[in-house]
Amino acid sequence: MDTSTLFMTLLIVIAVAYVSGRKRAMSLADKSKGGFSNLNSLPFYHGALAALWCGIPSLLLLLGWKLFENSIIENLIISGFPDAVKSLPESELGLMMNTVRNIAEGANIGVDPAPYLLEAAARLQDVEATSQFGVTAITISLCVAFACAAIWHIYPEKKARNQVETTFKNLLLVSASLAIFTTVAIVFSVLFESLRFFEKVPFFDFVFGLEWSPQMALRADQVGGSGAFGAVPLFAGTLLISFIALLVAVPSGLMAAIYLSEYASTKVRQIVKPLLEILAGIPTVVYGFFAALTVAPFIRDSGGWVVDFMGLQMVVSSESALAAGLVMGIMIIPFVSSLSDDVIAAVPQAMRDGSLGLGATKSETVKNVIIPAALPGIVSGVLLAASRAIGETMIVVMAAGLAANLTANPLESVTTVTVQIVTLLVGDQEFDSPKTLSAFALGLMLFVVTLLLNVIALHVVKKYREQYE
């Protein structure tokens, strides 16, 4: 039975357990003693308890089995290889394993495989069939056994309700804790691979190194391919593009928010605000396409013209930081404007009235009263926008370059942390080369920086917010 059929079967058994548990509880409700009132819990709870008893263990078992099945089978197969093959490095064993899988699936692999591979493929089919049979037999019998036990164990005084309610609460708790597990998983996955990377490349070389060329030598005696993992050019490129983006987004986002909340009529506001928010809903890959095919060529051509006109000796790259930054800025305009809108709206009306009553114009009120009052919120919004810009991937992957230039010239091509993560990890990779691991180190940096920005943003709001009410 394949896994989805097995899953469906289990669900059916669970449903049957619920129905029969309910039935049994109802039949136990003695009419002479006042019907249901002699049951401690409603029949629903008895049924639900039976369903929980048979569902949770078997589904957990199925999940665990499926999670670890592959790696266990792989180890079994590899341990059956001849000794000479077994001592190969991990990456080659992985390739070997793929060949075995392909043979087992009947795919044509071109050349005649070695006999031990054929043998392994046969064994793989065998083990997989056994494993599938095993998991089917065990989960279904477990499910049925628990269901029978739970249903047989129903008696009028049983406190099914308390048990079901506690389990319900615990299931909710587990769901809520998933956020913690995710954070922990992120930290561990990035941290472990990064630590492995820092064993090979010293931490300070990574953080302060000025040269980035993550090509590793294929052979130990190869010349000039040692690879340089200095991440400063990447940080500089990321900051440059994010800075350009903020330069576009902060003034226009802030002014848009001020205009919409202080000047615009309700009608204009109702139309314009959703329209601006569309900008935030457009997928980043669309912005990337727009940047790469429309904005970047435009900047290259018009920029080239300007450079010629001014008689400068410069080349405007077709992957300029300016193009990526501009488009990214457009993307975060609504982000800045809606965050600022919220904080501006939170400034009490009395302060505006006071200022206007003293004879200030509207713009003076905005500049001298509202913005100072809303400043912590605005600053935190800008920080959040910055963290957005730093972590943005698709726009820069499509519109920014790959070459790690250390430059502050927005017309040149720069690369960013996210671009490098994508280029290093897309496609097949070996997990023991520093080249691949460096992507995780970059991921760690990215995670830490964005987290810090968020924490600071929250802190700014908490600490400096004026309490008006």
In three-state secondary structure terms, 39 is coil
Shortest spacing between CB 206 and other proteins, in angstroms: 17
| Helices then strands, each counted (H, E), the chain | 18, 2
Cβ nearer to other proteins, comparing 200 with 407: 200
Shortest spacing between CB 67 and other proteins, in angstroms: 5
Shortest spacing between CB 457 and other proteins, in angstroms: 9
Shortest spacing between CB 163 and other proteins, in angstroms: 11
Cβ nearer to other proteins, comparing 226 with 367: 367
Shortest spacing between CB 402 and other proteins, in angstroms: 13
Residue type present at position 326: L
Is residue 234 within 8 Å of 404, Cβ to Cβ?
yes
Is residue 391 within 8 Å of 450, Cβ to Cβ?
yes
Tell me how far apart the alpha carbons of residues 393 and 400 are, in angstroms, rounded to a whole number.
10
Shortest spacing between CB 450 and other proteins, in angstroms: 6
Show the DSSP H helices in 201-265 as ranges.
Answer: 203-208, 232-258
User: Per DSSP, what are the bridge partners of residue 265?
Assistant: none
DSSP 202: -
Token reading at 75: 């180890």
Shortest spacing between CB 179 and other proteins, in angstroms: 4
Token reading at 146: 């628990």
Cβ nearer to other proteins, comparing 136 with 238: 238
Cβ nearer to other proteins, comparing 67 with 218: 67
Cβ nearer to other proteins, comparing 286 with 346: 286
Shortest spacing between CB 55 and other proteins, in angstroms: 14
Is residue 103 within 8 Å of 113, Cβ to Cβ?
yes
DSSP 157: T
Show the DSSP H helices in 88-231 as ranges.
Answer: 90-104, 115-152, 160-200, 203-208
Cβ nearer to other proteins, comparing 161 with 407: 161
Cβ nearer to other proteins, comparing 414 with 444: 444
Cβ nearer to other proteins, comparing 165 with 211: 165
287: Cβ contacts below 8 Å, ≥ 6 apart: 327, 328, 330, 331, 394, 395
In three-state secondary structure terms, 80 is coil
39: Cβ contacts below 8 Å, ≥ 6 apart: 25, 28, 29, 46, 156
Cβ nearer to other proteins, comparing 111 with 176: 176
Q: Which helix (H) or strand (E) is 229 found in, with range?
A: strand 228-229
Token reading at 21: 């548990």
Tell me how far apart the alpha carbons of residues 160 and 45 are, in angstroms, rounded to a whole number.
6
CA 325 distance to own-chain centroid = 23
Shortest spacing between CB 448 and other proteins, in angstroms: 11
